[in-house]
Structure 1
Amino acid sequence: MPLNSIRVLDLSRLLPGPYCTMLLADFGAEVIKVEEPVKGDYAREYEPKLDKNSAMFHSLNRNKKSICLDLKTTEGKDTFLKMAEDADVVVESFRPGVMERLGLGYETLRRINPRLVYCAVTGFGQTGPYANKPGHDINYLSYAGLLNLMGEKDGKPVVPASQIADIGGGALPAAVGILLALFEREKSGKGQFVDVSMMDGVISWLQTLLPDYLATEKAPGRGEQMLDGGRACYAVYETKDERFIAVGALEPKFWEAFCHVIGRSDFIPLLEAPLHEQYRLKYEIQTIISQKTLEEWVMLFSEVEACVSPVLTFEEMVKHPQVAAREMIQSVKHSGLGSVKQIGIPIKLSETPVKIETQAPKLGEHTNELKPEKN
């Protein structure tokens, strides 16, 4: 396993930090969840539950261990400091200053372990006037300017169903930052502080929108861009049976094939038509798409390269042959529940393939095993 010599102390809760450490655990790192006694990670309490813990908790915390420590007590702090002496990575998602007030901040930990990589995942980062502000995914999207561009032209901004800032802006950059710091440590022998802001991460995702504004100072409008549903060739259309198809016919060859299938070859020259013409095209295409069911359109496009796909439900997605071939839904053995279905691992390595080895830990399950002996 690529990371089987790496020990991670994970103080994070809920989604961003645990997703980051899940990636590390999946690839062999020994990830130890350091949880407060009694309640532990708040995500344990979410519904629906599989046993005493939520389905989401089981998914995010597979391949990990759990130890209970009260970091507000001298004993808890001393135990954590002792564990940090041999750790490679610490991950936390508190607001800036919390770990320092506990006496467990980066400067303290680096003195006892100069090789330690310390990663803090926060909403706004460790610096700046908003560093100590609270927030959630929707707030980071709004400050980054992305939420303003999500939705139809004349509608209000649409909240995404999955957490873009938490995972894309926080968890993934954190995992990359940790791996970069570990890689650099091989050369210098020193660890470092990895400062990840979820708002920063979202801004960095705006590669198809923000560079144009920075160059022209012309603000983009909601529902008016190439990839946000403003163009007829890149949009969602409703079928006769109140289902939907997604059309991504951006390139001329795909657009041409799409137009032939819907019987409107006269639309082919209008791929790059002005915005007002795009609205007319979308209206006319919607009229055509609404004349057949989803299954009928899927059959018509099945042998045509036009980048057209059905908008699947979860029930359909988990049974899809491509999802099955990529093992993105896996059945995992659980000592108390039998077989549990979980989300698979998205990174496939040819020489060191990985799998889900162990179930999510019970609260404090490994406390006795992992707690250092007193001198």
Structure 2
Amino acid sequence: MRVVELASLAPAPFGCMVLADLGADVVRVDRPGGPGAGRLAAPTTGPLQRGRRATALDLKSPDGVADLLRLVERADVLVEAYRPGVAERLGVGPQTCRDRNPRLVYARLTGWGQDGPLAARAGHDIDYIAVAGALEPLGRAGERPHAPMNLIGDFAGGGLLLATGVLAALLERERSGVGQVVDAAMVDGSALLTSFLHGLLGAGGWSAPRGRNLLDGGAPFYDTYRTADDGFLAVGALEPAFYAALLTGLGLADDPDLPAQYDPTGWPELRRRFAARFAERARDEWTAVFADLDACVAPVLAPTEAHRHPHNAARGTFVEVGGEVQPAPAPRFGRTPTATPRPAPDPGAPLDVSAIVDGWPARP
């Protein structure tokens, strides 16, 4: 699968990284002279850029547009993450590209989508998840909503949605013989991620304010706890069997004064007791205590140490690419396993478009 990626910030590069991990030949089209200045300039190195080849084209010049359309003629997918209308003004919009290649899947990733009152407005992850209803439920009781980095809007609701849409459009193309436009919007993807929450709301299972429900830190048996060495343990003992194992590990199984698990009026006391007990030992000591107990208790690992966890090490959940530890491709395939990704291309040595086109023979 041949993918042309117009260089941009995190969400679309992540989606193209996923496609590259799965075996696509992704060519990133950079601006001449590099990504530009500023902290939020599109990076050309790092995990999100792995597995690519790269060229540089000035899409504000006729020659740059002509070269891009040469790539489009032999590509399967084009990915762009401009604001609505920008690609059309540059002369590389969906209709122009599909006139050159009717089988092209033209994938567009934006925050607000290609239409609607906010389509032309700027925004970031925090804005998209706010409007999607995905931000309000996140946070401690009595506190303001708390954004979980930019994982929901940019990556899960953006880049991963883009990759899913591309794969679905390619599958449909095998039946119809023609491509189509994929309109992936981060506000749509963020809303989609709240499907389970909407089910809980409809069933009356999420009725308390933020931070007081079963899965948002309201329940003391689904929360994090500080340990004696200022580490943290994640506790997810929702079901009675796991809760019983949790009490066993904490040495509280025979305590007759513990409130009932599912009685919210007793949750403050349960939390106090759990917090006091977890504070007695270091994180790794507690990890050893729960190693043979199915209590749904796990150490909270920093990104810099996650690759050393025995389970991650055994599965190869992380790999080293170009001397940098980073997440391995996922999911896994039994017959056609993914390879270790190549490092990001050298931004100072863009490939010549003719060399790329020559390596992409015309489709029959």
- Same fold (TM > 0.5): yes
Change (3 A) 1:263 1:328: closer
2:343 match: 359
2:24 match: 29
User: How many residues of Structure 1 are paired with residues of Structure 2 in the alignment?
Assistant: 355
User: Offset at 1:69?
Assistant: 0.6
Change (3 A) 1:42 1:141: farther
- Choose from 256, 267, 284 the match for 2:273: 284
2:14 match: 19
- Tell whether the 8 Å contact from 1:88 to 1:117 is kept in structure 2 after alignment: yes
Change (3 A) 1:132 1:258: same
Matched ranges for 1:195-344 at <5 A: 195-214=183-202, 220-265=208-253, 266=256, 270-274=260-264, 276-332=265-321, 334=322, 339-344=323-328
1:3 match: none
SS at match of 1:67: strand
- Match of 2:221, as an amino acid? C
Distance 2:188 2:276 in 1: 41
Distance 1:169 1:209 in 2: 15
RMSD: 2.4
Deviation per residue, 1:123-149 (Å, 9 max, x gap):
011121111111111111211222222
Distance 2:151 2:180 in 1: 28
Distance 2:106 2:11 in 1: 15
- Match of 1:16, as an amino acid? P
Change (3 A) 1:321 1:81: same
Distance 1:27 1:346 in 2: 8
2:53 match: 65
- Tell whether the 8 Å contact from 2:138 to 2:147 is kept in structure 1 after alignment: yes
- State percent identity of aligned pairs: 37
- Choose from 163, 173, 176 the match for 2:161: 173
Distance 1:101 1:134 in 2: 18
Change (3 A) 1:220 1:98: farther
If the length of structure 1 is used for normalisation, what is the TM-score? 0.88
2:334 match: 350
Deviation per residue, 1:249-281 (Å, 9 max, x gap):
01110001111222333477722112x322222
- Tell whether the 8 Å contact from 1:35 to 1:41 is kept in structure 2 after alignment: no
SS at match of 1:32: strand
- Choose from 88, 97, 109 the match for 1:121: 109
